[in-house]
Structure 1
Amino acid sequence: MIDHLKHMAIFARVVDEGSFRAAARGIGLSPSRVSETVSDLEAFLGVTLLYRTTRKIALTNEGRIFYARVADMMRTAETGLNELNALALEPAGALRVSLPAFMSSSGLSTAIGEFIRLHPHVALSVTYTDHPVGLIDDGYDMNIRVGWLDDSSMMSRKLGEIGRLLVAGTDYAASRPEPEHPTDLEEWDWIRFQHRSDVTELIAPSGEVVKISGQSQLQVDSADALDHFARMDLGVTLLPAHLAERGIAAGELVHLLPEWSLRTLGVYAVWPDKSRRENLTLLFVRFLSEHHR
């Protein structure tokens, strides 16, 4: 049994990473050696744990049962290590984290860099994507989500809020009569973000809320692409404030209806209730909450 503890840990890493190659990169072994280790474990147990194809792996029924036990074992072991790390006052371990792609140069990314600088024994693998990703299914220890929380089984903490601005390319805006009311934008071309509603709500200083939809020829799944196409004078769009302000400062974007405002979006850290790296995750979340600007 003791001889196969390492085999079990490697098997769990393969499942977490989704492939032998990805697990091998994280462990520092060759993919063939990782595959052989899992095969040795299957031979010892007398069952098949993984279905293998050229592109992906999948757990067998026996593999799902065994993985749940191994994951519990790894969680317990890592909790013990984290507790010792806390006593030593020097955090150590690895975390896989996902953030929206448009936050790659935001204050939150700056805080992540500061965390790494302060804790040299912590390794972070950070994925930037504007596509919603899962925690358990996609193998992340923590997600940073903007504007949406839909899984009550997860732990969460609000890190802050992101402001948004209504903008258009400078030349595009100049080619149209200056809007005085949100309804004036109904006939403008809109560049839409696929993961948000097509209806835009603008709030007047008086508190009045006006909903507009407008016409859209272009939809994208990236906030950076919204910024790029707006600078190309293809229409009006909503941008996170830090992106919009850069374009405005460069003279490539104009802020439309500046006296009207948009609802801010909440920024949340989300992680499993029973995290494999609970102490390290909590330390990381607290740091981001205190240093995110």
Structure 2
Amino acid sequence: MIDYLKHMAVFSRVADKGSFRAAAQDIGVAPSRVSQMVTDLENHIGATLLYRTTRKLALTHEGRALHSRVTEMLRSAEAGLNEINAATQDPVGALRISLPAFLAVSDVSSAMAAFIKRYPNVALSLFYSDRRMEIIENGFDLAIRAGSLSDSAMMSRKLDVVPRALVAGAAYAGARSVPARPADLEDWDWIRYRQRSDTIEMTSDKGKIESVTGRSQIEVDNAGALYHFATQDLGASVLPENLAARGVANGTLVRLLPDWRLEDIELHAVWPDSSRRENLTLIFVRFLAEALRR
């Protein structure tokens, strides 16, 4: 039986994910390899574990029974690894992490690089996307979330705040009068971020609050695209400070209304309260928080 422990773990992942392709993507192998391992396991035990149709997979009676036992086995194995991780200064394991695309080149990614150097026996699989990714449904161990939290059932820890900046392409801004207040930007072109309200609220250094909507000809769902189109002189936009600073430094962007402030973006680490790699997750989150605080 020991020769088929990996086969059973793969079978369990297929049952959890509902398809060979999803399981293969999660594990990092070809779908054909996953399918073959499940078939080999069925041949070994002499029972069909999965009903296969062109539209979906379903567990047989034998499959449900084995899946239950294998799940217990995997949880026990994970618990054992967690106990080892908790007792050693050299944790072992892998974490799948979802985080916003605008953090690809940032202090957060630099902190993750430092983590890898500090713990060479830990592997990180990072998924950068500005689309909100569900943690459990997509098989992530944790996520870095930007903005307010809505996962009340999840564990969380605040990691950092990211300032935002109002910018425009240097040539675009240079062809217009220098704005003194947000209302002066109502007739400017804007590059919209789909995940954010069209109306932008700003606070002056004297505490006055104003909002601006402006007109928009282009809308994107990625902060990197916001940056690119702003550098193409298509209008004004709000960028995370790490992207804004890059454009200002190379001369393609200019800051607007420096005496007015935008609300910062809060960054939180979020993970299930019953994480399968609880101790490794906690080690990682603690390291990230301390690195960013420094």
Normalising by structure 1, we get a TM-score of 0.89
> Could you tell which deviates more after superposition, 175-184 or 43-52?
43-52
Report Cα offsets for 1:36-79 as digits up to 9, x if no partner: 332355564855536454xx865558668865664454233212
Answer yes or no: is the 8 Å Cα contact 1:182–1:212 preserved in 2.
Answer: yes
Alpha-carbon spacing, 1:95–1:40, altered in 2? closer, same or farther (3 Å): same
> Displacement of 1:5 after TM fit?
4.1
What displacement does 1:188 show? 0.7
RMSD (Å), alpha carbons: 2.7
Q: Out of 7-16 and 128-137, give the one that drifted further.
A: 7-16
Contact 1:195 1:221 in 2 (8 A): yes
Identity of aligned residues (%): 53
Whether the aligned pair in 2 keeps the contact of 1:74 and 1:276 (CA below 8 Å) is no
Q: Secondary structure at the match of 1:198?
A: coil
Aligned partner of 1:193 in structure 2 is 193
Checking the alignment, whether the CA contact within 8 Å between 1:93 and 1:280 is kept in structure 2 is yes
What is the correspondence of 1:1-293 to structure 2 with a 5 Å cutoff? 5-14=5-14, 20=20, 23=23, 31-41=31-41, 44=45, 46=47, 48-49=49-50, 51=52, 53=54, 58-60=57-59, 70-292=70-292
Greater shift, 83-92 or 226-235, is seen at: 83-92
- What's the CA shift string for 1:152-173, capped at 9, x where partnerless? 1111111010100000001111
Taking the aligned partners of 1:128 and 1:51, their CA distance within structure 2 comes to 33
Question: What stretches of structure 1 of length at least 5 have no aligned partner?
Answer: none
* Alpha-carbon displacement from aligned partner over 1:189-220 (angstroms, at most 9, x marks no partner): 11011111111010111222112111111000
Letter in 1 for 2:96: R
CA distance in structure 2 between the partners assigned to 1:65 and 1:272 by the alignment: 26
Q: Which runs of 5+ in 2 are unaligned?
A: none
- Residue identity in the other structure for 1:35: S
| Structure 1 contact 79–279 (Cα < 8 Å) conserved | no
The size of the alignment, in residue pairs, is 291
